[in-house]
Amino acid sequence: MEKEIKDGRIRSNIQIGSEVEVVQKQDQRSGDLTQGIVKRILTKSPNHHRGIKVMLESGEVGRVQSVFE
User: For each of the chain's 69 residues, which pLDDT tens digit applies?
Assistant: 567 899 999 999 999 999 999 999 999 999 999 999 999 999 999 999 999 999 999 999 999 999 998
Instruction: Report the 10 Å Cβ neighbour count for 1.
Output: 3
The H or E element that residue 32 is part of is none
Q: Where are the domains of the chain?
A: 5-63
